[in-house]
């Protein structure tokens, strides 16, 4: 396997992790502020459940997207139907 393909795969996985973490943070901050304003104290409760669901969905979606991108990059777009 060529070094360029390995580097592209590593970059794809880092991008996947970065986008997932960004989505989780963007979801958690408003939910935590809303919970704090409602209850008046910091506690992990129901606000973490939507964050976990969004993070799982983004992780799976980015995995599919990176697999398609990586496959197209390796084949050079030759196997398009």
CA atoms within 13 Å, Cβ hemisphere of 62: 20
pLDDT 10s per residue in the chain (81 long)? 688 788 888 888 899 999 999 999 998 888 888 877 877 766 666 778 888 899 999 999 998 988 888 777 777 756 555
pTM: 0.71
In the block, tokens 């506690």 appear at 43
| Exposure string over 7-25, b if 16+ CB within 10 A, otherwise e | ebeeebeeebeebbeebbe
d(CA 22, CA 29): 11
* Residue-level pLDDT at 47: 75
| pLDDT for residue 1 | 61
Torsion sign over Cα 29, 33, 35, 36 = positive
Structure tokens at 42: 């910091």
């Amino acid at each position: 396997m060529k070094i360029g393909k390995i580097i592209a795969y590593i970059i794809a996985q880092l991008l996947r992790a970065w986008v997932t973490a960004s989505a989780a943070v963007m979801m958690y901050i408003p939910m935590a502020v809303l919970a704090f304003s409602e209850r008046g104290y910091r506690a992990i409760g129901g606000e973490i459940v939507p964050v976990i669901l969004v993070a799982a969905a983004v992780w799976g979606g980015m995995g599919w997207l990176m697999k398609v991108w990586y496959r197209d990059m390796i084949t050079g777009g030759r196997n398009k139907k």
